Amino acid sequence: MKIPPLKKSGGVALITVLLVVASATIAAVAISSRLQVDIRRTENLLHADQAWLHALGIESWAQGVLAADARETGTDHLGEAWNKPLESTPVEGGSVAGKIVDQQGLFNLNNLLDKDLKPSDLGLERFRRLLKTLELDPLLANALLDWMDKDSEPRPEGGAEDGDYQGRTPAYVSANRRLVHPSELLLVKGFTPEVYGLVAPYVCALPEPVDININTAPVPVLMSLIEGLTEQDAQRLADDIEASPFEEISEFMQHDAIAGLKVPAKRHGLGLKSDYFKIRGRVRVGKAQVGISSLLHRAEGEGVKIILRMREDIFSG
């Protein structure tokens, strides 16, 4: 039996059907892929929101710890409960971790101005010594002071005012105010990312001039307090403080590590108590990670308040 050949119209129809099926398959795969992406995005956003709520819980933990500390003692040092980190702790779907960092053991960049927003000679001297200790140009302090002070006249050596910034791309002008965050240093002439990386561990930006807590100050900050204090003597001082924190400023003044050095006749910005702390926390829920960095102020009769909060979101996978 002889099979008749296919008609041309039948072949065209078959090809058309195959093209329609292929197009439908491609469309279905595209829709499915987009749906998976949308599901993953929604999942990540939900996990990030959940993680942020846990991060706010780290703030509450820190507030409770600092409030309890204020009721128990009138001084602050690194041997107290607030300096013990919150180790990684399981929560629903992930984990939380955090720590409290005293800010008054660091050099407050806003100490370059006094309470009347006028340049502080003592603050300028100490910041120059800190820069020198870190093997950086002490004249960078002049550029920062020009950035913060109200006038438009650059200091003779190392100063920088509006004219130094208006030629940049994009152009900007000096802030003429106190710093809100240490990262603002990156806008100041001479403070390159490399310089900022060296300075950042030892500085903070608090909303007012404050005493430096010598009980929590690291070695470079201790060296900045008194002219001529060597790294070896500052380390010995820090070791003694860790073993037995000072209860009175006079103990610091009489310590043999600074014997023979010119020390201030009065306190001059030195203290044993801290009112400003920073919390750093990290939360993981699913594939979302949220970081939190908050500045806390502890004031007598007012409790512990949050005055600055920063958030960082990280997604993986």
Cis amide leading into 154 (omega within 30): no
d(CA 189, CA 181): 16
195: left (phi over 0), alpha (psi -120 to 50) or beta: alpha
146: left (phi over 0), alpha (psi -120 to 50) or beta: alpha
Provide the 10 A C-beta neighbour count for residue 127.
Answer: 25
Q: At what angle do helices 121-133 and 140-148 cross, to 10 degrees?
A: 140
- The tens place of each residue's pLDDT in the chain, 317 residues long, gives 555 555 556 667 778 777 777 777 787 777 767 766 666 667 778 888 999 999 999 999 999 999 999 999 889 999 999 999 999 999 988 999 999 999 999 999 999 999 888 999 999 999 999 999 999 999 999 999 999 998 889 998 999 999 999 989 999 999 999 999 999 999 999 999 999 999 999 999 999 999 999 999 999 999 999 999 999 999 999 999 999 999 999 899 889 998 888 876 665 899 999 999 999 999 999 888 999 999 999 998 889 999 999 988 775 54
Q: Which residue ranges make up each domain of the chain? A: 45-103+275-315, 109-204, 211-271
| Degrees, nearest 5: CA angle 219-221-224 | 115
Characterize the bridge pairing of strands 94-102 and 86-91.
Answer: antiparallel
Structure tokens, 299 = 């004031």
264-290 pLDDT, tens digit each: 666 589 999 999 999 999 999 988 899
46-99 pLDDT, tens digit each: 888 999 999 999 999 999 999 999 999 889 999 999 999 999 999 988 999 999
Q: Classify domain 45-103+275-315 at the CATH superfamily level.
A: GSPII I/J protein-like (3.30.1300.30)
Place of tokens 């108590």: 273
Place of tokens 């090809």: 15
Structure tokens, 67 = 């409030």
d(CA 107, CA 210): 9
Q: Classify domain 109-204 at the CATH superfamily level.
A: EpsJ-like (1.10.40.60)
Is-contact 173 165, C-beta < 8 A?
yes
Characterize the bridge pairing of strands 86-91 and 288-299.
Answer: unpaired
Structure tokens, 172 = 């900007």
Is-contact 146 156, C-beta < 8 A?
no
